[in-house]
Structure 1
Amino acid sequence: MTALQGIPDEELADLARHWRAEALRGSKDARGTAHLYEAELRRRGRNNSDEATQVVLDMRPLSAREESRRWWRLW
C-alpha cells in the first residue's frame, strides 16, 4: 500500500483506467488491481477520480436491450 502513495495522481488514474478496461475484457485478476488503484484515488480525495475511471455501461436487463422481433416477420 505504501508503494501506491508514491505514484502521482495522473499516473494512478491511468493505471486504474487500464486495469478497469482489462477487467471489462474478462481478465480475472484485473478487477482487484483496478479496485486498489481506484480506492487510492478516492482516499486521496480526487474529485475527478470517478470521471477518470468511469465506463458507461448499459445496465438494463438483456431482454430490454435486445430488439424485440415480431413473430410475424420472417425475414
Structure 2
Amino acid sequence: MSDQGSAGNVIAAICNVFFPGLGQLVQGRLLPALIFAIVCVGGYALWWLIIPAIIAGVFHLYAIIDAATYKNNS
C-alpha cells in the first residue's frame, strides 16, 4: 500500500466494513488484523451486555479509519 487515500487503502477500508480486521489483513498487517477481529467479534457476541457492544462498535469504526489512513513507512 502507498499513501493515505490510495486505491489500496480505500479497498482495505471497504473490506473492514464487512469484517473488522480484514482491511488490515489485506494491507499485510497481521497483528492489528487479529486485534481488531478479536475485540469486535467478542464485543458483538456479548451484545446483551451493551457496553462490550459499544466498545466493539467504536473499535470497528476505528478499524475502518485506520485502514483508510494507513501510511506504509518502508
TM-score by length of 2: 0.43
Q: Which one has more relative contact order, counting CA pairs under 8 Å at least 6 apart?
A: 2
Structure with greater Cα Rg: 1
